């Protein structure tokens, strides 16, 4: 047997159905190590694909083996632990190994090689080729450029034509036939920068990007990058994806992205460690801390739940534990739902840990984030404080992972692989024997359940740190209001309370429990509502450009004043914050009012909030974003306008989310010297969730909710696997869905599943059944997320994808999806 050096690779071009480690020959003299990215030929056509080296070793030299073309990294970007994590993610989230690895690495890394060559505009193909004919390398480059639609990445060009193409590029650029875009250098010292962010949800944006992936690859990359990083400086987005400013403008026009100006964030001044005052814990905190410390010292990868009411000082406990971890030579990761909302946390950590802490927050530029990643990888930092993706920070020798407000749904990724940070954290803790500390004022029902079952170690902080009493909560019954002739959004009770606050010159926050605000057009005569031609949804009216737009596929059309059906006059409808604002202005004429919602540019938020505090503006009206982290001395009244809105959402944790949200909002009142009040408006004042939130009684909420979950077979008693099947032919999709259901039902009756008696439900249409002309139906498997079930679903997915009957139909699986 002849042997050779062989590398096992995760290959980008291999879809889920055929994903496995592929063997490639390492050419003589090539340095290849585990964790580097390489370029390889793949498939019949030997198209170039990227791969990640999983293992290197001697192996049998089989005839079919192909060679690695080139190595893309100077040193490895992933180590053994990363690869183990990716292997685990693959079987847990039904993604390819390559997709998992890509999720682990920072976005900046995947784009750092981007250097794009483009054809100069208005170049005629035949003339240009004739012009380039003299040098074969030039002709080859031109041919490739035309074949790829006018622009090619430099790395791709190099692997196709060899290193010598660099000279050809120079010649061609000299002739003005092409140009190469290099680093778009940002001038140092810019005061503000032009930022881009998604104007739609990540899911909606990805749908749009996917639908035109082939036709507009640059757009696709730009949107995908935006989905991973949230917001980014415009020049950086262009640099990393090869998009032009025209591309961005087109995306803006299509309503996919929006621009805003942002002050350049200075690197937060790092105070020297040692200066910070030592942390003093009260009795309760001390008790929790001691218990947690001994768990951490055990090195058994334990998990604990710290249930502490708002203002009980969980952060102090976190910091003491991190300090002790460091003293023992261990490192720590601290996760928060959205760090930009917790500047106090950032301040505390930088004063306690100085240069040893790396912060990964949404205000960082992509390149800054990448730099932080490099610092962490070089083990220059010992503490990482960040949001969801910080769980992948390449920090080794972990002693502790903290997840603050662990119930937040932002801990679940919104794009595939849709990992949950808590699960990844558990895996990493198991790798290093670290303690996982889940902290919350309103824990998820699952976590509270496991704490009661003894799977997590429970700890409690029941006293508010400053001994402040919780706000007094009043319920306003909106049904009564309607009966007594008040058709408005503000109940008489809330109105009285606001008036009282106005007299006392104290401030009020009003909260509309609704995401964004969908405004649509409706014909006053015949009731016609303009709908998207490609999706099963009403079009949204955008006052900025006077157009109707679809949030799912990006379709946009001019808004007519007259109804196209009957000629009647079109009216704007939808209870958004604007509508409430109008009502407030009539109720309280001449009173100053601030509005903050999805329409408010994100750069403005902080400015608005500081104005609210500084100028003591009497009323702040807002959506989700006013619920969290705001701490204002003079706010003594909080009003929840429609507590029920988030309750009747078709999702198993709607009740939990509502309870948590109400608790957070109520906690906004009376943070200063004066005591606070809260008014919760509801149509169902008898509802357990509303009542327990009004009483600030978590245990009561938990008891009723866990009973419900048990009866309905919801988590933690079962896991919900959602198989989404989509395609352009609705009947074909439905047929495929029914076939899948029958197949899964058959399996459910067999060993080993029959013992746990899984249920297979559906097909049911997805919340929005048609998106961009693709119909989406779901099959639900209610069972246990164990090895056998995952293996079955993985097998079923692969079989489905390779079944000829299912051509043109795609499928994916999610487990316990929160949103």
Partner DNA sequence: AGCACGCCGACT
Partner DNA sequence: GTCGGCGTGCTC
The contact set with DNA (CB under 7 A) reads 13-15, 17-18, 20, 22-25, 41-47, 64-66, 801-802, 804, 808, 810
User: Chain centroid to CA 231: how far?
Assistant: 12
Burial of 18 (0-12, 13-18, 19+ CB in 10 A): middle
Compare residues 8 and 595 and give the one whose CB is closer to DNA.
8
553 is in an annotated binding site: yes
- Secondary structure of residue 147 in the 3-state scheme: helix
Q: Which is nearer to DNA, 749 or 805 (CB)?
A: 805
Distance separating alpha carbons of residues 693 and 700, to the nearest angstrom: 9
Closest approach, Cβ 51 to DNA, in A, equals 10
Task: Considering the complex, state which of residue 4 and residue 601 has its C-beta at the smaller distance from DNA.
Answer: 4
Provide the minimum distance between the beta carbon of 172 and DNA in the complex, in angstroms, as a whole number. 25
Closer to DNA by Cβ: residue 428 or 774: 774
Q: How far is the CB of 138 from DNA (least distance, A)?
A: 24
Q: From 503, 501, 502, 477, select the one nearest 491 (Cα to Cα).
A: 477
Quote the CA–CA distance of 667 and 440 in Å, as a whole number.
Answer: 14
Q: Give, in order, the Cα–Cα distances in Å from 800 to each of 128, 206, 728, 787, 810.
A: 47, 23, 17, 20, 8
Estimate the crossing angle of helix 787-802 against helix 730-748, to 10 degrees: 140
- Letter string b/e over residues 112-142, b meaning 16 or more CB atoms within 10 A of that residue's CB: bbbbbbbbeeebeeeebbebbeeeebbbbbb
Nearest-angstrom CA–CA distance, 270 and 683: 50
Minimum CB separation from DNA for residue 41, in Å?
Answer: 6
Of 67 and 545, the one with the shorter C-beta distance to DNA is: 67
What is the spatial distance between Cα 24 and Cα 181, in angstroms, rounded to a whole number? 33
Q: How far is the CB of 659 from DNA (least distance, A)?
A: 41
Report, in Å, the least distance between residue 32 CB and DNA: 14
Nearer to DNA, 68 or 138 (CB): 68
The number of helix segments (H) and strand segments (E) in the chain equals 26, 34
Q: Which helix (H) or strand (E) holds 5?
A: strand 3-11
Residue placing its CB nearer to DNA in the complex, 25 or 493? 25
Task: Provide DSSP, 284-297.
Answer: HHHHHHHHHHHHHH
In this structure, how many other beta carbons lie within 10 angstroms of the beta carbon of residue 278?
Answer: 7
Least CB distance from residue 251 to DNA, whole Å? 22
550 marked as binding residue:
yes
Provide, rounded to whole angstroms, the least separation between the CB of residue 10 and DNA: 12
CB of 78 to DNA, least distance (A): 20
Decide whether 211 or 372 has the Cβ nearer to DNA: 211
What lies within 8 Å, CB to CB, of 45 at 6+ separation is none
Residue 95 in marked binding region? no
Q: Which is nearer to DNA, 700 or 735 (CB)?
A: 735
> Phi then psi for 229, rounded to 5 degrees?
-105, -10
DSSP labels, 105-118: S-HHHHHTT--EEE
Pairwise CA distance, residues 668 & 671, whole Å: 7
- Residue 24 or 702 with smaller CB distance to DNA: 24
Q: Is 589 helix (H, G, I), strand (E, B) or coil?
A: coil
Which one, 12 or 691, has the nearer CB to DNA? 12
Q: Map residue 636 onto helix, strand or coil.
A: strand
Question: With contact defined as beta carbons under 8 Å apart, do 501 and 634 qualify?
Answer: no
Q: Give the separation between CA 100 and CA 94, rounded to whole angstroms.
A: 10
Contact 566, 527 (CB under 8 A): no
Alpha-carbon span 317 to 313, nearest angstrom: 7
**Whole-number minimum distance, CB 15 to DNA, in Å?**
4
* Inter-residue contact 95 to 15 (CB < 8 Å): no
Q: Is 532 annotated as a binding residue?
A: yes
Nearer to DNA, 46 or 133 (CB): 46
Gap between the terminal Cα atoms of the chain: 55
The H or E element containing residue 261 is strand 257-263
What lies within 8 Å, CB to CB, of 188 at 6+ separation is: none
Q: 352: annotated binding-site residue?
A: no
Residue 25 or 250 having the CB closest to DNA? 25
Q: Compute the least distance from the CB of residue 574 to DNA, in Å.
A: 37
What is the crossing angle of helices 283-298 and 314-327, to 10°? Answer: 40
Q: C-beta of 163: minimal distance to DNA in Å?
A: 23
Q: In angstroms, give the least distance from the CB of 725 to DNA.
A: 12
Q: Give the residue from 415, 366, 338, 356 showing the smallest Cα distance to 106.
A: 366
Kindly report whether the peptide bond that precedes residue 417 is cis, defined as omega within 30 degrees of 0. Answer: yes
723 belongs to an annotated ligand binding site: no
**Cβ 47 to DNA, closest distance in Å?**
5
> Minimum distance between the CB of residue 215 and DNA, rounded to whole angstroms?
12
Between 95 and 627, name the residue whose CB sits nearer to DNA. 95
Place of tokens 């035109």: 212
Which residue shows structure tokens 């292997």? 87
Of 23 and 599, nearer to DNA (C-beta) is 23
User: At 301, phi and psi to the nearest 5?
Assistant: 55, 50
Q: What number of other Cβ atoms are within 10 A of residue 588's Cβ?
A: 17
Binding site, annotated residues for Zn(2+): 523, 526, 532, 535, 550, 553, 563, 566
Binding site, annotated residues: 523, 526, 532, 535, 550, 553, 563, 566
């Amino acid at each position: 047997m002849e042997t050779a050096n062989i590398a096992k690779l995760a290959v980008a071009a291999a879809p889920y159905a055929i994903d496995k480690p592929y063997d490639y020959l390492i050419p003589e003299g090539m340095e290849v190590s585990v964790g580097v990215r390489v370029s390889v030929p793949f498939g019949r056509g030997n198209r170039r694909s990227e791969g990640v080296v999983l293992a290197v070793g001697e192996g049998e030299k089989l005839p079919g083996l192909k060679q690695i073309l080139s190595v893309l990294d100077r040193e490895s970007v992933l180590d053994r632990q990363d690869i183990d994590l990716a292997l685990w993610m693959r079987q847990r989230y039904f993604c390819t190994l390559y997709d998992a690895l890509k999720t682990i690495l920072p976005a900046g890394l995947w784009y750092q090689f981007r250097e794009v060559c483009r054809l100069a505009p208005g170049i005629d193909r035949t003339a240009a080729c004739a012009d380039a004919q003299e040098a074969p390398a030039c002709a080859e480059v031109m041919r490739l450029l035309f074949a790829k639609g006018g622009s090619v990445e430099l790395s791709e060009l190099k692997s196709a034509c060899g290193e010598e193409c660099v000279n050809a590029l120079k010649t061609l650029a000299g002739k003005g036939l092409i140009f190469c875009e290099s680093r778009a250098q940002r001038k140092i010292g810019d005061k503000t920068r032009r930022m881009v962010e998604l104007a739609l949800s990540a899911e909606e944006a990805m749908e749009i990007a996917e639908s035109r992936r082939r036709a507009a690859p640059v757009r696709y990359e730009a949107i995908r990058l935006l989905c991973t990083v949230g917001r980014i400086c415009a020049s950086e987005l262009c640099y990393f994806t090869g998009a032009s400013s025209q591309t961005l403008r087109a995306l803006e026009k299509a309503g996919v992205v929006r621009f805003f100006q942002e002050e350049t964030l200075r690197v937060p001044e790092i105070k020297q460690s040692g200066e910070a005052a030592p942390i003093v814990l009260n009795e309760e905190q001390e008790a929790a801390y001691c218990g947690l410390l001994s768990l951490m010292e055990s090195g058994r990868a334990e998990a604990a739940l710290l249930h502490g009411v708002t203002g009980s000082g969980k952060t102090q406990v976190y910091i003491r534990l991190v300090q002790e971890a460091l003293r023992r030579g261990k490192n720590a990761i601290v996760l928060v739902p959205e760090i930009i909302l917790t500047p106090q946390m950032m301040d505390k950590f930088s004063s306690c840990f100085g240069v040893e802490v790396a912060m990964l927050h949404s205000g960082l530029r992509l390149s800054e984030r990448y730099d932080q990643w490099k610092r962490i990888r070089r083990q220059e930092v010992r503490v990482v404080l960040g949001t969801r993706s910080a769980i992948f920070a390449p920090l080794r020798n972990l002693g502790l992972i903290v997840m603050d407000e662990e119930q937040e749904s932002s801990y679940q990724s919104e794009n595939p692989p849709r990992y949950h940070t808590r699960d990844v954290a558990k895996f990493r803790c198991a790798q290093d024997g670290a303690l996982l500390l889940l902290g919350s004022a309103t824990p998820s029902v699952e976590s509270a359940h496991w704490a009661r079952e003894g799977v997590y170690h429970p700890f409690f902080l029941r006293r508010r740190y400053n001994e402040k009493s919780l706000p007094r909560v009043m319920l306003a019954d909106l049904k009564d209001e309607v009966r007594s002739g008040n058709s408005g959004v503000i109940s008489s009770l809330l109105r009285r309370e606001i008036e009282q606050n106005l007299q006392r010159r104290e401030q009020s926050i009003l909260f509309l429990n609704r995401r964004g605000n969908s405004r649509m057009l409706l014909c006053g005569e015949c009731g016609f509502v303009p709908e998207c031609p490609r999706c099963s949804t009403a079009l949204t009216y955008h006052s900025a450009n006077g157009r109707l737009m679809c949030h799912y596929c990006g379709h946009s059309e001019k808004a007519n004043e007259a109804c196209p059906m009957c000629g009647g006059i079109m009216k704007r409808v939808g209870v958004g914050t604007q509508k409430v604002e109008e009502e407030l202005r009539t109720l309280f004429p001449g009173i100053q009012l601030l509005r903050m919602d999805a329409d408010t540019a994100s750069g403005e938020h902080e400015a608005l909030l500081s104005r609210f505090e500084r100028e003591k503006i009497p009323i702040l009206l807002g959506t989700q974003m006013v619920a969290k982290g705001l701490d204002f001395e003079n706010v003594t009244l909080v009003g929840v306008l429609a507590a029920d809105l988030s309750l009747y959402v078709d999702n198993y944790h709607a009740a939990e989310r509502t309870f948590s949200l109400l608790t957070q909002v109520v906690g906004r009142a009376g943070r200063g010297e004066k005591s606070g009040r809260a008014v919760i408006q509801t149509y169902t004042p008898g509802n357990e969730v509303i009542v327990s939130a009004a009483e600030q009684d978590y245990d009561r909420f938990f008891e009723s909710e866990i009973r419900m979950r048990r009866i309905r077979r919801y988590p933690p008693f079962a896991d919900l696997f959602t198989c989404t099947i989509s395609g352009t032919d609705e009947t074909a999709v439905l047929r495929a869905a029914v076939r899948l259901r029958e197949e899964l039902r058959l399996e459910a009756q067999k060993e080993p599943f029959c013992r746990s008696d899984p249920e297979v439900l559906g097909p049911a249409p997805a919340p929005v059944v048609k998106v961009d002309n693709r119909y989406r139906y779901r099959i639900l498997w209610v069972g246990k997320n164990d090895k056998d079930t995952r293996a079955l679903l993985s097998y079923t997915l692969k079989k489905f994808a390779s079944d000829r009957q299912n051509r043109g139909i795609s499928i994916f699986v999610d487990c316990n999806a929160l949103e």
